[in-house]
Every structure is written in C-alpha cells, then in structure tokens.
Structure 1
C-alpha cells in the first residue's frame, strides 16, 4: 500500500530523511576536518589569523547543521507555498544567527589579541577596547535581529520608527545613564587618562583601575576605591600626574633680622650653589623676596627634570640638610615667629616696677576694729 503523509508518500519521506542525514554528516565532517587541519597548521605558525579561524569554526552550532540538513531534505518533498516559505525562513534565520555567532567570536578574538599585543606598550587599549567591544557586538546583534524579522515579513521600517519614538521617551527617563555612556565614549576617543594613570580629581588622588560604560573607578592613595560617574568626572578638572614630565618647585627660607649685611648678601649665592649641586635639578632663581613680620624671606625656584615624586623628596631633603649645615657654619639663624616690644621711656617703667615690688614686701597695716553704735532716738 502506498501511504501518503502530508502530501508525500513514504518513499519521498525516506529520500528526504536520507538527504537530511547525508547533508548533516557532510557538514559535520567538513567542519571537523577544517578545524583539525587548520589547528595543526596553526600550531606551527606565529600568526594569529589561523588560530582565529580555528576558534571561529569550532563555534559552528549543531542546530545550524541540522536545520541546513532539514532544509536540503525538504527540497525533495512536495510542500505548500506557505510551508515552503516557513522552512526557507527558518533556514535563513539559522544561517544569519550562525554568521552572527562567527562574527561575534571573531570580534572578541581580535580584541583579545589586540589587548595582549598592545597592552604592554599602549595602556589606552584596555580603556578603548572595552567600550569598542560593547558597541560592535550590540550593533551586530541588532542588525541580525532586524534582518531575521524582515525575513519573516515584519515591517522593519515601522518597527524602527516605533523604536525611535519610544527611544526618545526612554532617553528622557535615563538621560543620566546616557550621559555617562556618551562620556565613556568621549573618554575612549579623547583619552584624557587610561587605566594605570595616576590622576587627581577635586583633591582626590589615585590610580585609574577601571573605565566602564557608566563609572570610572580609582584606587586612592589611602587604599579605598573611589567611584566617579563618567559625566561628573569629565566636568571636573583632571590632573594627570603620570603624564607629568618635570616638576617646578618653589620653597621659602626665613632668617632672623639680626643678620649682618655681609651675611644677607651672601645668602642668594649660597642657595644657588646648594640647589645647583643636586642631580636632575635645573636651578631657576633665588631672591631676597620680602620683609616678613619676624623674618627676612628668601624664595628659591628650581625645576626637577624627572616627575618621580620620590626623587624630588630626596633632592629637597638633601637641599634642606645642606642649607642647615651651611647656615650653622656661617652663624645665620633661621627665623621663627617672635615679637619685640620697644618702650619709649624704659626708666620710668623700671621705677614703677621697683615701687610695686617694694610695696609687696611691706607688712600689711592692721586696721582698727569698727564699733557699731545704735542711733539715738
């Protein structure tokens, strides 16, 4: 007996199943052979392209292979126009999803390779690739989803327009989040700082640990983690200490007013000699700046030829030590806050003080007792 199932006899179904199985076996075999052959070749090469190809082909989905086999088998069957269109649309959707997966794996693999290759010499790659990965993958899957919907007959133009109107409403509701997102893109493109930079923001100093889509995280000098929103961070004045090349140092020295004229004139040359003798230092100037309330003030300016803070502190310490020793040898005293009171007639005040002292040494007089008498009536 010749049985007919869904418009096709058993022979046609058997042939269709055979075609399906054959196509699946061929696709599995070809994919496995390519992965093994390219993998063996990649083991003896230094390029990353073949390694990338192996990684991409190894992500071929079994569901995709089965759908392709079913689609090939259905070509042998007699099907209605509606059923044939449904099978074709499912096959196209499976193909698009598989292509998207291959591209997604390729993008992530390339970005990982770029990070490893440039991370040691270009720290900015860590910052930029994080946002770049998100943007590329989001755009990829959005395009694939729209293509699949269009393949199934959905009016993509109307959908995109509806999404645009809804997007405006959502944008108004989450404008702070979108502001941080666009700020992260600005950080990505402009690179005012990158991961690993030492920066100062509003008197808060630390090292950049992470730059995300919404926040940037900084490890402070005290050890805690400080989290800034990207928009607030870009509104602040950022001091990138890592990009500092030199340091301009200004410090003051005060001496007492009882210094001699010869000592006073010798101090600027003495300061210049002490500062110029240090390594990695470019002397700028040393001047008798002003008359202070209790000191004669000198100002010294020099430039460190390195941005290393530890080296700067070693140099400043050496300057202070040598300055202390030189002033001690020249009998020049450092000033400290003092006040001197000058009297117009000191002799009168001395006499008054002596009288008070004499009066305090005398015995106090004994007062006579007071007798209270009643009033006469």
Structure 2
C-alpha cells in the first residue's frame, strides 16, 4: 500500500511544492528553537528576580520540549504545502496528534515533578526523609495515572475502541487482582506508610526481634540496614501488621537500673545510698534524675532501684551517661566501705557428736541381760 501512495505523492507535487515544504519546515524549526531559547532565557531571569512560582513552573515545563517532537511538527507544517493522498493524509494527521499527546505527557510529567518538589521542599528539617519518601511514591503513582491517560488518548486517536478496551480491562482486572492480591496489598500498604508515616527513611526501628535503620520504602518492600551491616527486607503488608518501635522519635530515654549491696552493710550506710545515686546521676548534663529507693531484700543482696531520663534519644549518649554513673558509684562506695553484692550462699551445719560423747552414750546404754531381768 505504501508504494502506490508514494508514487501518487510524487506525481501530485512539483519541485516547487517540495521546495516550499522544505523551506516551511526549516523556517518553522529555526523560529521554534529561537523563540524557545528567548522565552526560556527571559523566564529564567524573571524567575531569579521574583518569588512567584509561575515563572519557575513555565521554565521547568518548557525545558521538557523534545527535539524529535519539534521536528515532527515542522514536518507536519511542510505537509501542508504538499498534495497528500487521502490515506496518507489520515496517517500523517494521526501521527502528529499522537506525538503531540506524547509531548503533552512530557510537559505534564515535568510539571507534576516540579509541583511535588515544591510541595514537599518546605517543612521541618527532621522530616526530610518522610517528605522525600512521600514525594517519590506520589510521583510514581502520578506518572502511572498520567501516562495511562496519554496511552488511552493515543489509542483512541489511532481509531481503537477505547470504551470496549477499558471494559475488557475491567473484567480482566478483576481476575488479575485476585491473582496478585498480595502485591496489591503491599502497594496499598506503601500508600499507608507514605500517608500515615509510622517511620521514614533514616529512622531506627525494631520489628519483633529485628532492628535497624530504614534505608528504602518501595511499592512492595521496605529495606532496613541491620546492626550487623546486613540488609533486612520486609513486605510492606507484613510490616504494618507487626509491632514497630521507632526509636528516632523518642524525646527522652527512660532508664531503670538496679544495684545490690551486701547484707552486712550498716543501716546508716544504706540510708546514704539513694543520695549517692542521685548525686551521680545529677552530675551528668545529659541525664535527669527521677527517683532512687531501697527496693527490697534479694536472695543474696539488698536491692536498690533508680530511674532517670536521658535528654537525648541517642543510644551512645545513654551508654556514656550510664558508664559515668557506674564509675562514680564505684568510687563513692569504695570511699564509704560499701560492698557490692555478688551471688553467695551460706551453708549452716549442725555440730557433730565427738568420740567422747559417743563413748559415754555407749556406757549409759543398758545391756541386753538387764533388759531381760527387768522384763521378767
């Protein structure tokens, strides 16, 4: 079919037609790129001098103009100077409209990315990971919806029955949804994570007995870098069903620790121990004292319990404070002669009879003959 159409195209057009078409395409292409450059430069200068977003948005969108699509439009302008067969004219019209829809898709995608970047660029510095995670998920979903719409418009431009296609896809979609329900569950779970934000990239969390720092939140899985350096991969759906502890969102860390002293510690020394613990805790700038008490009587120690708060959630800060408190208590107890208890057990043995006692017992024991006489 292409052969007869091409021969008819050559027969219906003279060299003047071809020269006019070539000149029109060249002029249009040059003018288009000249105007594009001038407009972009002016918009960029305007964007640098103003705080409005409209000029920035226009610069971003115009930057997405593709060279190939501009060339196709110039060729369409050239076709207006030629006598095209009916069949070829229809093909050209549909091709140009389809490519223009494709270019509109590029513009819309760039505009969507610009809006999402601006929308999630502002906020608390501590929520940067949450904003980036939400932006990436919304950008992906927006692209899927946008390009699906562009594909449907292109198919409709090509003459396909889009209504019947959508209906058939709807029926088939039910079967596909049943087959991939686990994947869809993870997809909706990722949306829930993006909207509700139980954790974000950079948070240190524990899931059951696993712990690590969140590295990536995807459409199906989330990845955590474990303490040992390994990467732990969770299904998003299973992750939301678990009990998650987010340690990065702690404002303070509550610490409970216990010490035990020996049972031979005198009462005056026992009374000073809570004060010694309080002084050791208050000496740490990162710690806030809560309480210290003589808790009870252990199996081998007199038990004291203390509670304090670390003003920072960092685990290293907590360990540094606890180490300093322990060292201070060791020094204070040594100065006052207070001993730390350790597991001990005292065995009490009743006094055993001596050889003299055993001999005297034997002498005082009646003989068998006397026992018989007494019985008669």
Residues 279-288 or 106-115, more deviating: 106-115
Match of residue 278 from structure 2: 272
Compared CA separation, residues 294 and 187, structure 1 to 2 (3 A): same
Asked whether the 8 Å contact 1:124–1:191 carries over to 2, the reply is yes
> Is the aligned partner of 1:177 residue 2:178?
no
Compared CA separation, residues 333 and 25, structure 1 to 2 (3 A): same
> Is the aligned partner of 1:199 residue 2:210?
no
Residues 137-146 or 62-71, more deviating: 62-71
**Alpha-carbon distance between aligned partners in 2 of 1:102 and 1:293, rounded to the nearest angstrom:** 76
* Aligned positions, number: 347
Could you tell me how far 1:8 is from its partner in structure 2? 9.1
**Alpha-carbon distance between aligned partners in 1 of 2:262 and 2:255, rounded to the nearest angstrom:** 24
Secondary structure of residue in 2 paired with 1:37 = helix
Match of residue 100 from structure 1: 105
Secondary structure of residue in 2 paired with 1:209 = strand
Question: Which residues of structure 2 form unaligned runs of 5+?
Answer: 1-5, 359-376
Match of residue 373 from structure 2: none
Compared CA separation, residues 45 and 86, structure 1 to 2 (3 A): closer
2:195 to 184, 189, 193: 189
Superposed, which structure 2 residues align to 1:142-291 within 5 Å? 142-291=148-297
Could you tell me how far 1:91 is from its partner in structure 2? 2.4
Could you tell me how far 1:31 is from its partner in structure 2? 2.8
Match of residue 24 from structure 1: 25
1:299 to 296, 305, 310: 305
Could you tell me how far 1:36 is from its partner in structure 2? 2.5
Compared CA separation, residues 320 and 152, structure 1 to 2 (3 A): same
Question: Which residues of structure 1 form unaligned runs of 5+?
Answer: 356-377
2:147 to 129, 138, 141: 141
1:60 to 49, 65, 68: 65
Match of residue 373 from structure 1: none
Secondary structure of residue in 2 paired with 1:123 = helix
TM-score by length of 1: 0.80
Secondary structure of residue in 2 paired with 1:278 = coil
Match of residue 339 from structure 2: 333
**Alpha-carbon distance between aligned partners in 2 of 1:176 and 1:325, rounded to the nearest angstrom:** 60
Asked whether the 8 Å contact 1:39–1:51 carries over to 2, the reply is no
Could you tell me how far 1:61 is from its partner in structure 2? 3.7
Q: Deviations over 1:136-187 (max 9, x none)?
A: 1111111011112222332212111111111111122222222221111111
Could you tell me how far 1:76 is from its partner in structure 2? 5.6
Could you tell me how far 1:251 is from its partner in structure 2? 0.4
Q: Deviations over 1:41-83 (max 9, x none)?
A: 4268537865664564454344434443444455566667655
Asked whether the 8 Å contact 2:252–2:312 carries over to 1, the reply is yes
Could you tell me how far 1:106 is from its partner in structure 2? 3.5
**Alpha-carbon distance between aligned partners in 2 of 1:13 and 1:101, rounded to the nearest angstrom:** 38
**Alpha-carbon distance between aligned partners in 2 of 1:36 and 1:72, rounded to the nearest angstrom:** 21
TM-score by length of 2: 0.80
Asked whether the 8 Å contact 1:8–1:77 carries over to 2, the reply is no
Could you tell me how far 1:132 is from its partner in structure 2? 1.5
**Alpha-carbon distance between aligned partners in 1 of 2:83 and 2:343, rounded to the nearest angstrom:** 107
Q: Deviations over 1:209-246 (max 9, x none)?
A: 11111211111221122111211221111111111110
**Alpha-carbon distance between aligned partners in 2 of 1:25 and 1:118, rounded to the nearest angstrom:** 49
**Alpha-carbon distance between aligned partners in 1 of 2:216 and 2:263, rounded to the nearest angstrom:** 55
**Alpha-carbon distance between aligned partners in 2 of 1:313 and 1:73, rounded to the nearest angstrom:** 76
| Structure with more helix by fraction | 2
